[in-house]
Each structure stands twice: as structure tokens, then as C-alpha cells.
Amino acid sequence: MDSGKLYTLPKLPYDYNALAPYISEAQLTLHHTKHHQAYVTGANAILDKLTKARKENTDLDMKAALKELSFHIGGYRLHTLFWENMAPAGKGGGGAPGGELAAAISAEFGTFDRFKKEFTQAAGGAEGSGWAVLTHCMKTNRLIVMQIEKHNVNVVPGYRILMALDVWEHAYYLDYKNDRAKFIEGFWNIVNWKEVDTRYRAHQKK
């Protein structure tokens, strides 16, 4: 039995200081090297436990193990999407969406401002630790804003995540203390709309 592939911490597509002043170097470094790394380590630890139990033919507390695995893989995956849907302000980050995504946002929300408002409300109102995400439903071809609690609660299978915003306190506390709204406002200056559009078009073709 192969021990299988494990998760690894992806490199950021920009320098740690590149998203300042909206996300400082210290905040981004901590978030990526400590928090994101913790989900990678956590997911791999459960996968190792599963492999070991299979080799030794012993039983695991499956409910606990799978719950933890879902949490850590969710954290690993969402952070990866989050880093990639940001770019330095004025150098790929900020502004307004273009391409097919812009048309889809107008069709669903009426205006870009209305979309921003709804997404901001979703991010501001996510309970406890969580995320706001823009998703695409293949069945209806609609864009749908969702809240994910923790990394794995309220997740709808098969809805591709086009844009993710981490609103756990660990994402902004060094920079903004408890002012989540200010962090969300800053996020709009570093959204990589080209990446969000690329995800949208890639998903439509599937």
C-alpha cells in the first residue's frame, strides 16, 4: 500500500509586502506561513493516520477523523483560492471585473455595485470564523454569493468557488484589530478580477 501524496503549502503568487497597505507584510506572512501551513499539516496528519490504520488494519474514530480532515482540507483549499484571487493594487488588483465575468455579474446582480454590496454584507455577517465566496452554479448558470462557516460548513458540492475572502480574525487582526468592515473595504483594492474571470470561464466549459 502506497502512503500516497500529501498536501504542501503553495507559494504565494506575489511577495509578502505586495498587498500592503490593505494587507501588511506581517499580517500576510503570519497568515500564510502559520495559519495556512497549519491546515496543510493538519490534513496530512489525518491522511497519515488513515494510511497507518489501513496498513495495521486497525479502526479509527471515523467521524472525528473525517470531520477534522474536511476542516483542514477546506482550509487548505480556500486559502489557496484566496491568495490567487488577489493581486497588488494597481498591478492586477482592484478596479472592476471585465470579460464574461462582468456580463455575468450584471445579469445576476444588476450592477457591479449591487454585487459588491451583497458580497460585503455576506463577508461582514459570516458567523464566527468563516468566508464569503462568489460561486457559480452549473445547473442554473447563476452566480451565487455564499457564506462558509469555519472552512467546511454550508459548503455546497459542485459549486465552483470563483472568489474567496477570508474573514477569520487571523486574516486581519494585526492590521485592523476588530474592524472587519475596514478589512473588507480594503479587499476590493486587491481583487484579481482577471483570475476570477478565468475561473468563471473555465467552469462554464465543463
Tell me which residues touch Fe ion (CB under 5 A). 35, 166, 168, 171
Angle at 72 between CA 117 and CA 147, to 5 degrees: 20
What DSSP state is assigned to residue 31? I
Choice between 18 and 171, CB closer to Fe ion? 171
Choice between 100 and 179, CB closer to Fe ion? 179
Residue in 88, 197, 55 with CA at minimum distance from that of residue 134: 197
Answer whether 83's CB lies under 8 Å from 12's CB: yes
Q: C-beta of 3: minimal distance to Fe ion in Å? A: 28
Q: C-beta of 166: minimal distance to Fe ion in Å? A: 4
Phi, psi of 21 (to 5 degrees): -90, 5
CA pair distance 193, 187, nearest whole angstrom: 12
Which residues, in sequence order, are CB contacts of 62 under 8 Å at separation 6+?
A: none
> What's CA 72's distance to the chain center, in Å?
13
Choice between 16 and 168, CB closer to Fe ion? 168
Q: C-beta of 35: minimal distance to Fe ion in Å? A: 5
Choice between 105 and 184, CB closer to Fe ion? 184
Packing angle of the helix pair 112-124, 99-109 (nearest 10 deg): 80
Q: C-beta of 73: minimal distance to Fe ion in Å? A: 14
Which CA distances in Å does 130 have to 11, 75, 127, 169?
22, 10, 7, 9
Choice between 115 and 168, CB closer to Fe ion? 168
Q: C-beta of 36: minimal distance to Fe ion in Å? A: 7
Choice between 165 and 171, CB closer to Fe ion? 171
Q: C-beta of 29: minimal distance to Fe ion in Å? A: 13
